[in-house]
Amino acid sequence: MNSVSDRAALRILRLDHTRLAAITGAMLELVRAFCDGASPPDPIVLRAMLYYIREYPEQIHHPLEDRYLFAALRKRTDDLDDVLDELECEHMEGAVRLRNLEHALTRYELKGDAVRLNLQTLMEEYVAFASNHRRVEESLIVPAAERLLTESDWARIDAALEERFDPFGDATFEGETLDSLYRLIANAVPAVGDTRQDG
C-alpha cells in the first residue's frame, strides 16, 4: 500500500499549489517589469493567468478542499476548526481580491501610467495573500490530514478527485484546441513552464 504522503489527493494538492505559485509569481514579475518601464506584456498573457486562477483554483481546487479535505478533518478533530474557518474565509476573500485585480488590469489597459502603481500594489498584495494561504495549508493542514484521516476518508476524497474535470479541456485559443489553459500559460512564460513536468 502506498504511504499517506503518496496519496493522489495530496499529490494533486501539491501540484496545484506549485502551479499557482508559478503563475502568481510570474504575474507579479510581469507587472513589476512593465511598471518599472519595460514594454507591457501582451494583455492576453496576464488575462490567461487571471482566467486560470479564476476558473481552476476558485472553481475546482478550493471547493474540493472545503467539501472533502477540510470536512474530513473537522470530523476527526476540533483542534483545527479556527484554522479551517480562516482558510475557508480566505477562499472567499481570494475571489474578491482576484476580481479587484482583474478590474485594476482593465483600468490600466484603459488609463495607462496613471493607474499602474495601483495595479502593482494589488498584485503584490494578492501574491502575498495567496502565498501565505498555501503555506498554512501545507504546514498545518496537510500534516494533520496525513496523521488523522482514515482509509474511508481518503476513499471519499479519491472518489471526488475522480469526478474532477479539466475546465479547459474544450478551450480554444486562436483556433487551436488546448488540453489545458495551463499549457498556454506555460508556453508563453518560461518560469511557469518549468513546472509542467509535474503534471
Q: What is the full per-residue pLDDT of the chain (199 aa) written as tens digits?
A: 445 556 888 888 888 899 889 889 988 888 888 777 777 667 678 888 888 888 777 777 888 899 999 999 999 999 999 999 999 999 999 999 999 999 998 998 888 888 888 989 999 999 999 999 999 999 999 999 999 999 999 999 988 877 765 554 544 444 333 345 666 677 777 666 555 444 4
Q: Domain boundaries in the chain?
A: 4-190
Place of cell 485594476: 104
- Report the distance separating Cα 166 and Cα 70, nearest Å: 22
**Global pTM?**
0.81
Which residues have C-beta within 8 Å of that of residue 124, sequence separation ≥ 6? 28
Contact 80, 73 (CB under 8 A): yes
DSSP letter at 173? E
Domain 4-190 class, CATH top level: mainly alpha
- Report the distance separating Cα 100 and Cα 30, nearest Å: 18
| CA dist list (Å): 15 to 26, 104, 174, 199 | 16, 28, 28, 7
